[in-house]
Structure 1
Amino acid sequence: MKIPQKPIKLFLFTAFLLTTVFCFGNHSKLQKDTLKTSIISFKIKLKSKEKVRITPASLKFNKHLAYSFTLDDGYRSAYLTSFSLLNGGKISGPLISEWKNDQGGDGTNSKGLFYSDGLGNKIPFKLGLAINGGAIDDFSAYRGHLSWAEVKEMYNAGWDILNHGFHHATKHGTNFLTEVRENTTSIQQNLGFTMSQFVVPGGESDPGYHLEYEKDALANGSFSVASYVGAGLVINVKYKINLDKMVYSRVFVESSKDTIGFKTMDRYLATFDSVAKLPDPIWYNAYTHGVGNGNLWSLSMRFPDFKYYMTTIADKYGSKGDDSIWMAPWQEVYEYIWLRDRIKITYDQKDKEATVTIELPQIPEIFRSRAISLRIDTPSKFEIESDSTNFSISSDGKTKHKLINLQLN
């Protein structure tokens, strides 16, 4: 889906201010899920008696910037180049697809691009894939789209799969409801899970068609929809977010006709830097189409540009840099914020021991990510004591004593 917008600093700052206001909306959707709650608890053994303070981190791992980048349309270059670049592995060499376009890369070996969990453990950058089940192919070696096996491998590595309609249909006469439902069924049958987020496909269409897609997607199981206008491009996550039937917009990142140097990517990166410098924790959302050597349909990023763009971000904001980024797909960030805004934390401290109790809402079954990070304010080193099998827990209690990460089972 192409949105004719350029990364303009003033526009992004305005969007940041607007979405700060947007954050204070009503939480009506999924309120019923909070009716059936459960309790988890653990103890903090402190080295001193100073009082502690515990709050949910605005973003997972207490990061400052969540960056959600999506590859639309399920082109094979997603697997041939970007997956290996980010996750680590052999990047494909040049490969001419059925469309006479090079969907391959530079043939090098990548060590991967990483951020950390705040505790020294590296996590590879992950993207989202907005795919059309009707286009997935398992046959030709020169196919233009992904295979089911390739999609499954990326999904198993933590990449999220977003509903993009079964046929990517947009023209007059499209049955939008059928597009939404058939794609949901296709992914259920071939990959064994239910998608929870929708991305409106772009193309030749009647005016206002995206509104029909938004309505039908939200009415048929999607928690949010990426469309032409909506929340974003920058969302302030310092406060509670209104996720109820959320419609959001994304910045479009594409290569220019100029193939000399990286001037176009540097402009996108300058905007990224301005977003990263905003004072509050934020959520930034972007997308492109193909990421092979050729600029597919002139709506994509050539692989050299994609590699330069992602590597620059990783070197500055990933584990090699200031480690302020959480590079995760839209669904993963959405699910973290949903849970963050619904948990209730209490703690009782007696001398050098604090008992922490967390009341959890009933989490929707189709949620994939079930994690929460806690900020702990204490000058004291500490250790965690827990014998629960309902969650795993880790912390930096012996070093910086500022962060606790929980993964719910």
Structure 2
Amino acid sequence: MDFLQRDVPLKSQYQILQMKIPRLQIKMHLFIFAFTISSVSFCFGNNSKIDSSKTKTISFKIKLKSTEKVKIQAADLKFNKHLAYSFTVDDGYRSVYLTAFPLFNGGKISPPMINEWKNDQGGDGTISKGLFYSDGLESKIPFKLGLAINGGAIGDLPTNRGHLSWLEVKELYNAGWDILNHGFHHATKHGTNFLTEVTENTTSIQQNLGFTMSHFVVPGGESDPGYHLEYERDALANGSFSVASYVGAGPVIKVGNKINLDKMIYARTFVQSSKDTVGFKTMDRFLATFDSVAKLSGPIWYNEFTHGVGNSNLWNLSMRFPDFKYYMTTIANKYGTNGNDSIWMAPWQEVYEYIWLRDRIKIKYTQNNKEGIVTIEVPEIPKNFRNKDISLAVETSSKFEIESNSPDFKISSDGKTKHKLINIHLK
């Protein structure tokens, strides 16, 4: 049956070694990480031309408790985190809404649900308290995923449908999940009109959900050699800032220095359940790799992918829900608010947009005795960006308060406690 060919990843020598020699998995991961970190600078560019005449300036005062000189700079990652973690689920299967969404946000996880393909896209029926990281201040933020969807597969029927409905996608989007272009029909075979796949999906989401997607994920499956290159070309030429494909940057990207993001292509790395359903040995191997990434020096951006997250290993390209729950809960307990709170669990688009803005703002700080003034020049931001946030890392031993009455931004800080962080949301 045709749908059994959906999203079959191209097998690299590394992936084959993973399957044949599991004990080498972590070592091979680390080898790939070292290679990509050293070569990642070749994969970036600048996708947006900035009209300097459309920049604007925002400013605010800092009232200090001492005359000590203060140092302020843009945080490498939002909320001044160490690790940005982007996890994407391909194809828009309904299991993300039934299981992952309530697991992350808190609420009732779906019990088993047999879909139209006789697969179980439900979960364990339990109540989740949610999985969270913090904004570096006092607010908890639920984990979020990115969804690569095909507009042609979304609908309300049958009642036991395998794909998401428009209302479900909208709810996930409104909760901060990012929606990524995955082609309108998920077409890959000979004769595919790649440009039409890209543009029809963009139009479909615009008409049904009211926003424009800005990142593309190449669909996998039965195809001609090199088809992904055509998808990459057409997506980047028609509004996409980046493309997830088979070869490119990552999965580990060091972001401590300025990054040129033009026409960025990054490689998907899949997390999938194995045939072994006893215990969580497979997930423990993936977690060992995750831990090794989290221990790397400097700010890190790490991305992973899967397909379904229900009880069945959908098309043998997915994570069974028990594995997914164990994997994400372990990460949350170690790196979220229940652990050291070093993670920023955000979809690819959100992280991309923060780094784009971080590298283009100009910060000026002047201080007279116990009063400082921060002035930030903000460039013109592309219209289809949905995140306009700046985090400032502050170096001072003095407590401080923020004074601002501007309607152009919302600002918060830990000036009275740790006095290390200022978060700004541009309106």
The answer to which of 82-91 and 4-13 deviates more is 4-13
CA RMSD of aligned residues (A): 1.4
Are the counterparts in 1 of residues 29 and 289 from structure 2 also a CA contact under 8 Å?
no
CA distance in 2, matches of 1:216, 1:196: 13
Are the counterparts in 1 of residues 43 and 248 from structure 2 also a CA contact under 8 Å?
no
Counterpart residue number, 2:3:
none
SS of 1:230's equivalent in the other structure is coil
Matched, 1:129 2:147: yes
CA distance in 1, matches of 2:314, 2:56: 49
- The two structures have a TM-score, normalised by structure 2, of 0.93
The answer to which of 56-65 and 8-17 deviates more is 8-17
SS of 1:266's equivalent in the other structure is helix
Shift of residue 250, structure 1, vs aligned partner: 2.2
CA distance in 2, matches of 1:126, 1:250: 18
Matched, 1:184 2:184: no
- Is the alpha carbon distance of 1:16 and 1:281 closer, same or farther for their aligned partners in structure 2, counting shifts above 3 Å? farther
Residues 213-252 of structure 1: per-residue CA shift (max 9 Å, x gap): 0000000000000000101010000001120000001210
- The amino acid that maps onto 2:188 is T
- The two structures have a TM-score, normalised by structure 1, of 0.97
Please list every run of 5 or more consecutive structure 2 residues that lacks an aligned counterpart in the other structure.
1-6, 19-24
Match of 2:67 among 40, 49, 59: 49
Shift of residue 88, structure 1, vs aligned partner: 1.2
Counterpart residue number, 1:321:
339
Match of 1:246 among 264, 273, 291: 264
- Is the alpha carbon distance of 1:26 and 1:214 closer, same or farther for their aligned partners in structure 2, counting shifts above 3 Å? closer
CA distance in 1, matches of 2:27, 2:256: 21
1:222-261 equivalences under 5 Å are 222-261=240-279
Matched, 1:75 2:93: yes
Shift of residue 272, structure 1, vs aligned partner: 0.1
Matched, 1:98 2:95: no
Counterpart residue number, 1:357:
375
Counterpart residue number, 2:229:
211
CA distance in 2, matches of 1:91, 1:182: 33
- The amino acid that maps onto 1:209 is Y
Matched, 1:312 2:330: yes
CA distance in 2, matches of 1:330, 1:70: 8
Match of 2:415 among 380, 383, 397: 397
Counterpart residue number, 2:182:
164
- Is the alpha carbon distance of 1:262 and 1:33 closer, same or farther for their aligned partners in structure 2, counting shifts above 3 Å? farther
CA distance in 2, matches of 1:354, 1:20: 39
Match of 2:385 among 358, 364, 367: 367
Match of 1:194 among 195, 212, 224: 212
Work out the percentage of aligned pairs sharing the same amino acid. 76
SS of 2:246's equivalent in the other structure is strand
Residues matched between the structures, number: 409
- The amino acid that maps onto 2:386 is R
Matched, 1:407 2:425: yes
Matched, 1:291 2:318: no
CA distance in 1, matches of 2:31, 2:78: 23
Match of 2:161 among 143, 146, 151: 143
- Is the alpha carbon distance of 1:109 and 1:36 closer, same or farther for their aligned partners in structure 2, counting shifts above 3 Å? same
Counterpart residue number, 1:276:
294
- Is the alpha carbon distance of 1:258 and 1:26 closer, same or farther for their aligned partners in structure 2, counting shifts above 3 Å? closer
Counterpart residue number, 2:21:
none
Residues 242-292 of structure 1: per-residue CA shift (max 9 Å, x gap): 200000012100000000000000000000000000011100000100000
- Is the alpha carbon distance of 1:239 and 1:284 closer, same or farther for their aligned partners in structure 2, counting shifts above 3 Å? same
- The amino acid that maps onto 2:324 is F
Residues 78-123 of structure 1: per-residue CA shift (max 9 Å, x gap): 1010111011111100010000000000001111100000002100
CA distance in 1, matches of 2:113, 2:46: 49
SS of 1:31's equivalent in the other structure is coil
Are the counterparts in 2 of residues 314 and 320 from structure 1 also a CA contact under 8 Å?
yes
SS of 2:326's equivalent in the other structure is helix
Shift of residue 28, structure 1, vs aligned partner: 3.8
Shift of residue 17, structure 1, vs aligned partner: 5.3
Shift of residue 26, structure 1, vs aligned partner: 7.3
Runs of 4+ in structure 1 over 6 Å off: none
Match of 1:22 among 40, 43, 64: 40
Counterpart residue number, 1:113:
131
Shift of residue 3, structure 1, vs aligned partner: 5.0
Are the counterparts in 2 of residues 164 and 201 from structure 1 also a CA contact under 8 Å?
yes
